Amino acid sequence: MNRYLSISPEVQEALREGRPVVALESTIISHGMPYPQNVQTALRVEQTIRDNGAVPATIAIIGGRLKAGCTSEEIEYLGRKGQAVTKASRRDLPVLTARKADGATTVTTTMMIAAMAGIQVFATGGIGGVHRGAATTMDISADLEELAQTQVIVICAGAKSILDLGLTLEYLETKGVPVIGYQTDELPAFYTRHSGFGVDYRIDSPEELAAAFHVKRELGLKGGMLVTNPIPEEYSMPADIINAAIEEALRQAEEQGIHGKQTTPFLLAKVKELTGGDSLSANIELVLNNARLAARTAAALCRL
């Protein structure tokens, strides 16, 4: 085992016994939501995974240790510290670990640490991707590169709708990452069920998702598989409302010179403000929805 990796006893026992485990990121705790909703949501997501037959493994960097499975006290710690915790992508891991510092893991680093621990299924809200205006800014999330090389199923509600969804799909196609629509032929756009862009394949059951990933492993193909699971209809936000909020948030970000790793937290917070908190409620519900599907898919994978 990697000398910098700590796997919680519960997760370690589940992996040893061949029981389903689902990885969860910690950026959503420290950077995605305000306190105390961040901690409450993280614990609800863990319970949802348990209720659907799997063991949750919230992933983070605490005191320089790569943690696969956090305690409720550690989740509370990350939630209270909030944005004082470094948002940790691939480039940050060696320095944070060497300094024995804390880090909230993005999709990228959650995939990396999950793979180190032997966890194959990961539930998140939305992945990063190609940002709007990337033709001039070159702002492209490391999540896409990680999906191209790390063998983990990522279950999300699509790419975050603050992104250029068309270019994000093109990038994933270039990298050979299969984009699966769960019970949909259309790429969901995080807060909304529709984007106008198609997916590579539609799959309608957790068993078929697990089978496709199992064959990918058996073929020796590197990289992950992206499963896009639409937000439940009753929580989906009207596209015109969310798009207007995103455009205004983007305008303010440019005006204030927001860039780099601060971009996504700024935009999500601004969209929440502009929608009167509706986007936060939607965010919570889509994460719970993804957790349910991830637990069922992990269980199906264990049966293969």
CATH superfamily of 5-302: Indigoidine synthase domain (3.40.1790.10)
**255: exposed, middle or buried (Cβ count in 10 Å: 0-12, 13-18, 19+):** exposed
Q: Clarify whether 173 is annotated catalytic.
A: no
Q: Is the peptide bond before 232 cis (omega within 30 degrees of 0)?
A: no
Domain boundaries, the chain: 5-302
The active-site residue out of 25, 46, 74, 146 is 25
In DSSP notation, 88-103 reads E-GGGHHHHHHTT--E
Global pTM reads 0.92
Tens of pLDDT along 243-255? 788 788 878 988 8
74 pLDDT band (50/70/90 cuts)? very high
- Report the mean per-residue pLDDT for the chain: 93
Alpha-carbon dihedral of residues 150, 156, 161, 162, nearest 10 degrees? Answer: -50
Name the least confident of 14-18, 140-144, 180-184, 190-194: 190-194
Query: In this predicted structure, what is the pLDDT of residue 1?
Result: 59
pLDDT one-digit tens code per residue, 115-125: 999 999 999 99
Reported as a pLDDT band with limits 50, 70 and 90, residue 131 is confident
Strand-pairing partners, residue 227, are 155, 180
Position 132 scores a pLDDT of 77
Active site residue 145: no
Which amino acid, 52?
Answer: N
Which one of 74, 87, 146, 160 is the catalytic residue?
Answer: 160
